[in-house]
Amino acid sequence: MENTRGFAYFCLGCAAGAVAAVFLTPKSGPETVGYLRRKAEEGTNYLKQGTDYLKQRVDDASGAVNDAAERGKNAVLYQAQSLGAAVEAGKQAYKAAQETTP
């Protein structure tokens, strides 16, 4: 029974709010609709600008990550080549030392 009474008060409050909104609105219906439509379009434009900005930042970050990965690969390749050359030089030095040692 208490829930029914609470629901009735809720409906009465909604009706009172709707009546107050109709009487206290500063603009006519078409003006208010136009205002709300303009604001919705502005919000859509801001949202589009925000998504474009985010897409650009993601593209920039992706490019930076790809560049860093490429530099890393080049550094590893250079180090591997340097290590290979050092090992080869060590082998040759060892072989030369064995040949000259009695």
Cβ atoms 35, 27 nearer than 8 A = yes
Condensed to tens digits (0 to 9), the pLDDT of residues 35-87 reads: 878 888 888 888 888 888 888 888 889 899 999 999 999 999 999 999 999 99
For 43, the token pair is 């919000």
- CA–CA distance, 19 with 8 (Å, rounded to integer): 17
Give the total number of structural domains in the chain: 1
Residues in the chain: 102
Domain that holds residue 80: 2-100
Helix (H, G, I), strand (E, B) or coil at 27: coil
Q: In Å, how far are 51, 64, 82, 97, 102 from 94, measured between CA atoms?
A: 63, 44, 18, 5, 14
Of 14-18, 68-72, 88-92, the poorest mean pLDDT is in 14-18
**pTM, full prediction:** 0.45
